[in-house]
Amino acid sequence: MKLLRPLVVTLLLTGNALALVAYWHHRTLRPTTDDSYVHAHVVQIASRITAPVKKLHVTENVYVKRGDLLFELGTATYQTMVDAARAQLDIAAQDTGAEGADVRAASANLREHQVAADNAQRTLSRVRSLAQRKLIASAALDDATATEAAARAAVDSARAELDRAREALGQGSTRNAALRAAAAILARAELELSFAKIFAPATGWVTDLHLREGAMVRAARPQFALVEDGSWWVEANFRETDLERMRPGHPAKVELDMYPGIILQGWVESISAGSGAAFSLLPPENATGNWVKVTQRFPVRVRVSSAELKRYPPLRMGASATVTVDTELPP
């Protein structure tokens, strides 16, 4: 009996020691933290123009698909801008047409003067030949020379007029500068008019909705948020002492507080380069005299498998979770 009691005590102490070693080994190889929260991409929905809300097509927390119409804005102002720009384009086209007619007229005038100059040149050649043989008076040669010079001057003037008309016309057709400018203004007005309808940029849930029909929407000012569905991760804040063996690619288990009993499979996607305190609004001032050493926590992004998301109820942003990373398996 006296030998049994020390044996029992020894066995209990040995068992406790083995249990502690096993726990320490498990804790080292499979670090766990309950300082973890679910995250997803959030798109702030805003209008690109300023206008009143004409029609609201969504409600709070409704599920929408990419391309669904979210809300419409009044188009009276922007439709007027489109009409004015289209009228300016028509005016530019008419002006271009008139300038094209000027070019054609100047071109015909140049051809007419060119024909007259050619005739004057031929006449001058015949008169010069006769004058050399003393068959006509020298005055006739002077008149033919003057007529030929006047015809050449008229050709030069007509050519200059054609160049002026062509310069006023520009490059013509859709490459004309005035037409391009008017077309650009019209395209911009039509683009702004198209912004009156706001569509969902992704599939997800509408949240934080306070927009109402008739309210004035300011350009680039967020009206509500859209939580994207399909890309979810958990930001687990592990102690710095847990990161020695952890690498991107290590498998992880995620247990959500809102869904007891459900374990999601994922993997370590990345480990933050800085602690949470380093990026806080008021980082700690460790250079002060009252410094106290505190174990820091580093955000670890754990990506949840898309296959897991289809098997279980939908996730919610900000939900609490417990994450366990298995560092025994290769990343």
Asked if residue 101 has pLDDT above 70, the reply is: no
User: Distance between CA atoms of 7 and 58, rounded to whole angstroms?
Assistant: 74
- Asked whether residue 233 falls in the same domain as residue 289, the answer is yes
| 8 Å CB contact between 217 and 51 | yes
Helices and strands: H and E segment counts in the chain: 5, 12
202 in any annotated domain: no
Please give the pLDDT value at position 209. Answer: 95
Please give the pLDDT value at position 182. Answer: 81
| 8 Å CB contact between 247 and 29 | no
Please give the pLDDT value at position 237. Answer: 96
276 in any annotated domain: yes
User: Distance between CA atoms of 212 and 123, rounded to whole angstroms?
Assistant: 88
Please give the pLDDT value at position 151. Answer: 72
Please give the pLDDT value at position 278. Answer: 84
Please give the pLDDT value at position 131. Answer: 65
Query: Of 94-98, 230-234, 247-251, 306-310, which range is least confident?
Result: 94-98
Average pLDDT, the chain: 82
- Asked whether residue 91 falls in the same domain as residue 136, the answer is yes
282 in any annotated domain: yes
- Asked whether residue 169 falls in the same domain as residue 253, the answer is no
DSSP structure class, residue 248: T
DSSP structure class, residue 314: P
Work out the percent of the chain whose per-residue pLDDT is above 70: 73
- Asked whether residue 174 falls in the same domain as residue 89, the answer is yes
Domain boundary among 142, 159, 192: 192
- Asked whether residue 298 falls in the same domain as residue 219, the answer is yes
Asked if residue 125 has pLDDT above 90, the reply is: no
Domain boundary among 160, 192, 224: 192
Query: Of 29-38, 129-138, 162-171, 273-282, which range is least confident?
Result: 162-171
Give the list of residues 6+ apart from residue 123 with CB closer than 8 angstroms, or none: 144, 147, 148
Q: What are phi and psi of 116, to 5 degrees?
A: -65, -40
- Asked whether residue 160 falls in the same domain as residue 89, the answer is yes
Please give the pLDDT value at position 148. Answer: 74
| 8 Å CB contact between 93 and 176 | no
State the average pLDDT over residues 313-317.
Answer: 90
183 in any annotated domain: yes
Asked if residue 97 has pLDDT above 70, the reply is: no
- Asked whether residue 130 falls in the same domain as residue 42, the answer is no
- Asked whether residue 288 falls in the same domain as residue 225, the answer is yes
| 8 Å CB contact between 211 and 224 | yes
State the pLDDT confidence band at 202, using cuts at 50, 70 and 90: very high
User: Distance between CA atoms of 107 and 91, rounded to whole angstroms?
Assistant: 24
User: Distance between CA atoms of 275 and 268, rounded to whole angstroms?
Assistant: 17
139 in any annotated domain: yes
296 in any annotated domain: yes
Amino acid at 301: R
203 in any annotated domain: no
State the pLDDT confidence band at 208, using cuts at 50, 70 and 90: very high
Query: Of 12-26, 112-126, 304-318, which range is least confident?
Result: 12-26
Please give the pLDDT value at position 211. Answer: 94
Radius of gyration of the chain (CA): 43
- Asked whether residue 252 falls in the same domain as residue 151, the answer is no
- Asked whether residue 127 falls in the same domain as residue 227, the answer is no
CATH code for the domain in which residue 226 is found: 2.40.30.170
Asked if residue 203 has pLDDT above 90, the reply is: yes
Please give the pLDDT value at position 145. Answer: 73
Tens digit of each residue's pLDDT (9 = 90 or more) over 210-222: 999 999 999 999 9
Range of the domain at 137: 77-192
Give the list of residues 6+ apart from residue 75 with CB closer than 8 angstroms, or none: 51, 54, 193, 196
Q: Give the total number of structural domains in the chain.
A: 2
- Asked whether residue 272 falls in the same domain as residue 228, the answer is yes
- Asked whether residue 142 falls in the same domain as residue 219, the answer is no
290 in any annotated domain: yes
Asked if residue 270 has pLDDT above 90, the reply is: yes
Please give the pLDDT value at position 153. Answer: 77
Between residues 87 and 225, the one the model is more confident about: 225
Asked if residue 144 has pLDDT above 90, the reply is: no
Tens digit of each residue's pLDDT (9 = 90 or more) over 164-192: 666 655 554 444 677 778 888 888 998 99
Asked if residue 24 has pLDDT above 60, the reply is: no
State the average pLDDT over residues 22-38.
Answer: 77
Name the pTM for this structure: 0.69
